[in-house]
Structure 1
Amino acid sequence: MSQPPVDYSEKRDFIRMRIEAEVQLLQADQVISAVCIDLSSTGMQVQAPQRFQVGDHLEVRIDSDHTALAGLHASTEVVWIADQPGGAQRFGLRILAMH
């Protein structure tokens, strides 16, 4: 399935909150521990030890330490990738749906 090209110049139109929180990425039957670097209302930047491809769909879970606050559970799509030393990747995820 082909997606139209996305102009990422609008990414600065959304407030990004730097959080550096532990997240779980779920793909098929795999659960991958990663770190969410920053979060906005439309997406997030994540660093993970496993490699992904643009277009991959991932479920993301961020647990909350506070009983009064629900954690985040979202369906996402990888929209950009930046390789890191040691085989890790930083990548941008677009939030498709919140659960």
Structure 2
Amino acid sequence: MSLDDRNYSEKRDFIRMQVQTRAILEHAGQRYPALCLDLSSSGMQLETEAPLTVGDRVRVLIPSEHSALKGLEAEAEVIRIGEADGGRKTLGLTVLSMR
């Protein structure tokens, strides 16, 4: 990580947790498998094959692996799209609300 990258990451308002867990992305009545790469209280980054564009609103479900804990459910908006391996996309999402 370069000094500029470190300075930028330290300016974030919320700490991002690296999670690498499966997720379900819902948009326009369709469900797509996704991988949640990181998560904070204000956003998340997913990797998926879902055909989305910047500005799309989505629902993200991250099931809990523990029966005693409820999974995460969030309404979010796509604010960034990047390229990943194998034709997949990385999505930068801002969280609009959590349930």
Instruction: Name 1:72's counterpart in structure 2.
Output: 72
The percent identity for this pair of structures is: 47
1:23 and 2:48 are equivalent in the alignment: no
RMSD between superposed Cα atoms in Å: 1.9
Identify unmatched segments of 5+ residues in structure 1: 1-7
3-state SS of paired residue (1:51):
coil
Aligned residues: 92
**Which segments of 5 or more consecutive residues in structure 2 lack a partner in the other structure?**
1-7
Q: Give the corresponding residue for 1:42.
A: 42
Query: Within 1, Cα distance between the matches of 2:10 and 2:51?
Result: 26
Partner Cα distance (2:22, 2:42) in 1: 19
- TM-score norm. by structure 1 comes to 0.84
Residues 50 and 87 in structure 1, CA contact (< 8 A), matched pair in contact too: no
Change (3 A) 1:68 1:26: same
